[in-house]
Amino acid sequence: MPNLAQVMKEEVRRLARKEIREATDAMKKQVAQQRRDIAALKRTNEQLTRRLNVLEKQEKQRGGKVAPAPEDSAGIRFSAKGLASHRERLGLSAADMGELIGVTGQTIYAWEQGRSRPRDSQLPAIAIIRDMGVREARAKLNTNSEKQEEAEG
């Protein structure tokens, strides 16, 4: 007659292996899906990086300033008061300032009143405008409006 303790141990081992297998199978499927997702994100990131490089080269060839990459925005500080005073110094409306940065006039008002803050991707554009004088800002607005007229016409 088999030893009862031995039979119990074998049954416990068998059931434990079964439970472990069920738990790890589901986890393996989840890990495989996450790896596929990560690979897809990496491919998308590489494509976007390549496209960004092409666009930056085109902009440089046109003679326009290229905003630094978002990674460079870590050292750029933002001040709502500073933005408002610089906009007044330049004599620009919020809509004009927004056009230079690439946002709406309402967004500029929200930034100046402290209701919201610019995204990290918008900080380089703000830094470029900080370095602009009145003439340069007006010239940039005129070239932007000419480009819009050409696109519409």
Number of folded domains that form the chain: 2
pLDDT at res. 74:
63
Judge whether 116 lies within some domain. yes
Based on the fold, state whether residues 12 and 53 are members of the same structural domain.
Answer: yes
Q: Are residues 30 and 81 in the same domain?
A: no
> How far apart, in whole angstroms, are the C-alpha atoms of residue 14 and residue 11?
5
- Taking 70 as the threshold, does the pLDDT of residue 71 lie above it? no
Which residue bears the tokens 């340069």? 136
Kindly indicate the confidence band of residue 148, based on its pLDDT and cuts at 50, 70 and 90.
confident
SS3 3: coil
Model confidence band, residue 113 (pLDDT cutoffs 50, 70, 90): very high
Q: Is residue 51 part of a domain?
A: yes
Domain span at residue 131 reads: 76-152
Contacts of 107 (CB under 8 A, 6+ apart): 98, 116
The pLDDT of residue 146: 78
Taking only the tens place, the pLDDT of each residue in 72-109 is 556 788 888 999 999 999 999 999 999 989 899 999 99
Tokens representing 105? 């006039």
Co-location of 55 and 89 in the same domain: no
If you count DSSP H runs as helices and E runs as strands, how many of each does the chain have, helices first? 6, 0
d(CA 37, CA 39): 5
- CATH code of residue 107: 1.10.260.40
Tell whether 40 is covered by a domain: yes
- Does some domain include residue 70? no
Residue appearing with tokens 């007229």: 149
Same-domain pairing of 13 and 52: yes
Inside any domain, residue 9: yes
Among 19, 40, 62, where does a domain finish? Answer: 62
Q: What is the pLDDT of residues 4-25, one digit of tens each?
A: 889 999 999 999 999 999 889 9
Final residue of a structural domain among 36, 62, 88: 62
